[in-house]
Each structure stands twice: as structure tokens, then as C-alpha cells.
A and B are shown apart, each in its own frame.
Chain A
Amino acid sequence: MSGVPARVVVVGGGVGGTLVANLLSRDLGRDVRVTVVDPTGMHSYQPGFLYVALGEASGRWLFRDERELLRGDVDLAVDGAETIDRDGGVVRLESGASLPYDYLVLAPGARLVPEQVPGMSNGESGAGGHHFYSLEGAIRLREAVRQFRGGRILVGIAGIPYKCPPAPIEFVLMLEDHLRRRGIRKKADIKFLSPLNRAFTVESASKLVQPIMDRRGIGLETFFNVETVDPSAGVVTSLEGEKAEYDLLVLVPPHRGQRVVEDSGLGDAGGWLPTDRSTLEVEGCERVFAMGDATNLPISKSGSTAHFEAPVVASRIASMIRGTAPASSYGGRVMCFLEVGGRKATVLRFDYEHPPVPPKPSAVWHTAKWMFNRLYWVTVPQGRIPERAVRKEETQ
């Protein structure tokens, strides 16, 4: 090794960015100088928004200062990444500063674009639809659910791909349970709008949740690709030519890749980074890696994906810095819980080659999810859980 540390810039202080920075710093010590760039400097635990929307948790435990989650020898730039200059090997920041890099990790997440659906609001006005994909949106939805006394409820998905595929199903099942406990279930007509010919993208999970929805009296409208929302009439129309009326509308907004990706000319039509499914390198870009929601990989956009990708990215960069052949590869591993209401949940574990075989929902998986929610802050960002197991399984 030379005496000059390799410069690694990580764009995004979410699950993947934080973990990859900590792993590189821990494993390479003085041979690396890692800088995380994040526009807010606050790390959010997004799976918690679902619970906020249903009044089961406050927003307080969902945010931590990113600085507290990073190792002391990782630098944090609280700044927006504006563009990537690949030829110059520099990230240009909104403040006007520039960060040169030898290795770049792009983990900026995804962007909500409700404006792509005419009439849909970003949750500011309930009439144009609510969502729980931000804390503010989840709090407004919580108030709308609290004030709901009866009527037609639509829960749907306004674009694929979106973050945390089970979330809208979890929401509708938990909402049904919530209304039953409040004694107003019979006054509510609940329908789920799916863009596909089943409730959920993954067929095996659909086979598990659809009978539960049937038993709970939750209607399912399939092949309903949201085209417009008419807030004054309370009507959603689909590309397929159908209409659905609502008193309370909850729609997962369409997502796109982040602006820094698009403005740097790196994204595909949706703004996602074309990424090698095994090495996680951005196609055509040497020493540039992508992870988490920002990639175009045919796998869930979720924190779990980023959690399993981070050790692979860290290991490959560490090998390159050490001058050895990278050996780790990502096999598409994801693990996520799926709440079904009534304090029961199941778990989805899968990879590129193996679809999930979810177990029967039980209180055990619900408790596991709650424990994970609570332990997240002291485990995942620091690489304290499954990392060793991940490396063993992912390394081929």
C-alpha cells in the first residue's frame, strides 16, 4: 500500500451508504478516507412511517443524527450532491464545493413524484390522496384516519417500482384491523387497487395475502394503473378505463431516481442506475458502485436490499484498494417482514433465483419485526448483525 489513503465518496446517508462507509472505515483503517454526502445529515428509519400513519408509533424514534451513526473516522458532508463528473472523478455539491474520489458509491435513494399523476397531491391536501412515504405524509394520514367515521376507502399503488413492496398491503390490512378495533369497520368499504393481476408483485406472497383480504372483506381491483385523481369528485381513474370512488384515498406515489443521477446523465428512463446485478458496479463506470433504491435491479427497493448489498460493495472496494481480485458478489438477497394486522406478521426471504415461501402469519414474526425496528439503530448501520452471515452467503 502507498501512504496515501484511497478516497471513497458515498452519496447518501441511508441504510446502504452508512453501512458501506462504516465497513470500509473499519476494515481498511488508514488506507481509506471515506466521506458520506447527505443533504439533511439526518438518518431516517422509513419502515416506521407505516406505524405512525396508524397511530401506533410517534415519529420521534425514526430519526437520528447521521454523525452519531458513522464511525469517528468517516467524514460527513451535510450537503446535496448536484452532479457527478465521471471524467474528472469529482462529486460537485450544491454549496459549490467539490469532492474528488478514487471510488464512488451511489446510494442516494429514490424520489417521490406524485406530480406525475394529475390531481394527486403530495399528501398536503387529503382530497388528492394521502401517503405514508414521508413523516409529514404519515402524520397527515394519521389525522385523516383518526377523523374517519365511515365511507369508501381506497388504498393503491400509483407506480411501479416503489419502495418497500409489502407496505401498501401491510397498510390496508392493518387499517382494516384498526377500524375493527374502533368499532367502525362495518361503516367502511375498503378496496385495494393493484396495478397487476394480483395483490402483490410476488406471486407466492399474493397467494398468502389474498385469502386474508377476502376473509376481512377487503375488495381487490386488479390491473388498476392509476391515471388521474379528481379530488373534488373523489374519483380515481385508471389507464384501463375504470373509475373508483373514495372518501379517503391512500396512494403510494410514483417514484423516480434522484436528480443527481438524472442530472449526471447516469440514469435510465426512470432515473435508475443501470447496475451489474452481481458486482453492483454502475454499468460502463469504473470504480463507481450503486446500491439500494437507486439501482435498476429487478429486486425490492428496500432498506433490507441495501443492508445485504453494502457488505458486497465494501468488500469489492476493499479488494480493489488492496490490489486483490474482488471475490464478493450479490445474489439478490432480501428479507422483509409483512404485517397482516391483528399483531401478526409473516416474513419474505428471497433472492434472484429463489422466490419467497412465506410462513403462516404469526405473532412471532410480528414480535420479530418490532424487535428489529427497535434494535435497528444499534445494529444495522454499524454492521453488527447478519454481516458475517451475509458475507459467507454472498461470497462465491
Chain B
Amino acid sequence: MGVIQVDREIDARGMACPGPLMALIGAIREEQVGTVIAVLSSDAGSRTDIPAWTTKAKQELVDVEDADGYVRFVVRKAR
């Protein structure tokens, strides 16, 4: 698998729920279709909230990567 080119990264570490999800939603509103957005979250709730929201919103969850004390979600704006 090739390296995913991220167009915009949001560091939402330290934000409490629902901060990281709302930051992602804000970025989806602002960006063009096709843009790849990475969200870094240390909030445990994001692990369920962000994948559930991308499914509901018909956005593409490209990658979920565990890091030291946080999770990096990579989402492509699909529509």
C-alpha cells in the first residue's frame, strides 16, 4: 500500500469529546471533494465516533493509525 498523501492535518489532541469529531466536520465543510484530511485525537470516544460519522456521512475513512497516546484518522472527502 502506498503512502497516503494528506492535504490537511488537524491536531485535535487534548480536545475533549466531541471536539475532534467537530473539527473533522468543520474541515469537511470547508474543503473540496477529494481532499484528504488527517485528524489526531487523544479522546477515547473518537475511536467509535469518527468511524461511525464517516459511515453515516458517506465519507471515506482511509486509515486509522494508532500512535503514542493518540489515534490518527485519515478521511477523504467523498462528496
Contact = CB atoms under 8 A, between A and B. Distances in A.
A298 interface: yes
B15 A298 contact: yes
Contact of A240 (B17, B21, B45, B57): B57
Contacts of B15: 298
A195 B57 CA distance: 11
A239 B25 contact: yes
A160 B53 CA distance: 15
B28 interface: yes
B49 A196 contact: yes
Contacts of B57: 223, 239-241
Contact of A160 (B22, B52, B58): B22
B55 to A, nearest CB: 9
Contact of A197 (B25, B49, B79): B49
Interface in B24-73: 25-26, 28-29, 45, 48-49, 52-53, 56-58
B29 A239 contact: yes
- Measured as residues with beta carbon below 8 angstroms from the partner, the interface class of chain A is 10 to 19
Contacts of A201: 17-18
A12 B22 CA distance: 28
Contacts of A222: 56
A225 interface: yes
Contacts, number: 37
Nearest to B26: A269
Nearest to B48: A197
A393 interface: no
Nearest to A116: B29
A196 B21 contact: yes
A223 B58 contact: no
A196 B79 contact: no
Given A160-B18, A223-B52, A240-B56, A203 B45 contact: yes
A240 to B, nearest CB: 4
A269 B58 CA distance: 26
Interface string A219-254: 000110100000000000001110000000000000
A227 to B, nearest CB: 8
Contact of A225 (B16, B25, B49): B25
B28 A239 contact: yes
A298 B19 contact: yes
Q: Which of B19, B28, B56 has the most CB of A within 10 A?
A: B56
A261 to B, nearest CB: 18
Contact of A223 (B19, B26, B53): B53
Nearest to A277: B14
Interface string A289-332: 00000000010000000000000000000000000000000000
B53 A197 contact: yes
Contacts of A298: 15-16, 19
Contacts of B52: 197, 223
Given A241-B57, A241-B58, A196 B28 contact: no
Nearest to B45: A203
A195 B24 CA distance: 12
A201 B26 CA distance: 17
17 contacts: A195-B25, A196-B18, A196-B49, A197-B49, A201-B17, A201-B18, A223-B52, A223-B57, A225-B25, A239-B25, A239-B28, A240-B56, A240-B57, A240-B58, A241-B57, A241-B79, A269-B26
Interface of A: 160, 195-197, 201, 203, 222-223, 225, 239-241, 269, 298
Given A197-B49, A240-B57, 12 more contacts: A160-B22, A195-B18, A197-B48, A197-B52, A201-B17, A239-B25, A240-B56, A240-B58, A241-B57, A241-B58, A298-B15, A298-B19
